Structure 1
């Protein structure tokens, strides 16, 4: 029970996972997360810590607290995507399928950067594969007016803007500058 309580206290105190893992002697984040149970305040603080970015690379203009309430992470896991969040009001249904990168209701942040980079690589590979298959089948390159190709280029464009914006908030040591919460530059200015 002591280990479980200590891991929970570390996480709820805002200790980074890699530091908590080292303290507890765990080799994987999964093991540390097995012991740790977080408070809803910690979930909200972690969510609000990162600047939210829209598909066109701009900062999400709505209040992040309202966004957190709208997607209600503890109750609406269908609004949490592998690469961001859906801000579509709960009573509305999505007509985009999995085309989130072309949807104005999609928002993401720095915590999803590895998945977004992987998605960019996968999209590049898919485009190259489809273009080769098209040329092999029809004997000519795929037209830039091809509707499927246009859709993939829209996704790539959105990913490029998002990743560019994410890179702009990274510090020289590779960490991100939190815009809200403990350790944020705004919090230090308020203390002074």
Structure 2
């Protein structure tokens, strides 16, 4: 019975993961097959690669040299299930920038310059999250269903709403 339950849980996890289009840190569609990403993650064995705002697809035997800079990493992918977290992180970072700029102006009597290393890093984070969120929104309809994305060289075809909702995005 336990093996049956384990297979059922695995199948359910895969069904929940596959329908969402994966977006890279720079807002582009992830080129990898979603099934390949799901298998590479091996979610139950690689909890160190599950992030609060997406997934790390770095192969298990490679070490991460990015630290906490996942949004600048080519191995980072995310999808619509993380949109709320990404929005929250973007808003919190924007508020932090505003707060730090006010404190800097109060302390030094002038605003932070654009070449400030801390400010440029946070600005890049906000821009990255905004780009990812825009890419996620481009594939979502107003009724909550997602829009399948046409692959390069593939003719565009109309799909019924039932087919669209049940089709894995990006295929």
Is 1:99 paired with 2:69?
yes
After TM superposition, the runs of 4+ consecutive aligned structure 1 residues lying more than 4 A away are none
SS of the residue aligned with 1:85?
strand
TM-score by length of 1: 0.72
- Structure 1 counterpart of 2:82: 112
- Structure 1 counterpart of 2:116: 146
Q: Distance in 2 between matches of 1:143 and 1:68?
A: 43
Q: Distance in 1 between matches of 2:66 and 2:99?
A: 24
TM-score by length of 2: 0.80
Give the count of matched residue pairs.
Answer: 149
Q: Distance in 2 between matches of 1:43 and 1:178?
A: 22
- Structure 2 counterpart of 1:28: none
- Structure 1 counterpart of 2:164: 185
* Structure with the bigger percentage of helix: 1
Check the 8 A contact 2:22/2:78 in 1, yes or no. yes
Consecutive unaligned residues of structure 2, counting only runs of 5 or more, are 149-161
Q: Distance in 1 between matches of 2:164 and 2:34?
A: 18
User: 164-173 vs 114-123, which deviates more?
Assistant: 164-173
- Give 1:23-172 correspondences, 5 Å limit: 39-172=9-142
Structure showing greater relative contact order (alpha-carbon pairs closer than 8 Å, 6 or more residues apart):
2
CA-atom RMSD in angstroms: 2.1
Consecutive unaligned residues of structure 1, counting only runs of 5 or more, are 1-11, 13-37
Q: Distance in 2 between matches of 1:107 and 1:73?
A: 14
SS of the residue aligned with 2:18?
helix
Q: Distance in 1 between matches of 2:108 and 2:81?
A: 42
Q: CA deviation at 1:97?
A: 1.6
Deviations 1:145-185 (A, max 9, x none): 01111111111111111111111122122x13175xxx552
Q: Aligned in 2, Cα 1:171/1:150: closer, same or farther, shift over 3 Å?
A: same
SS of the residue aligned with 1:49?
coil
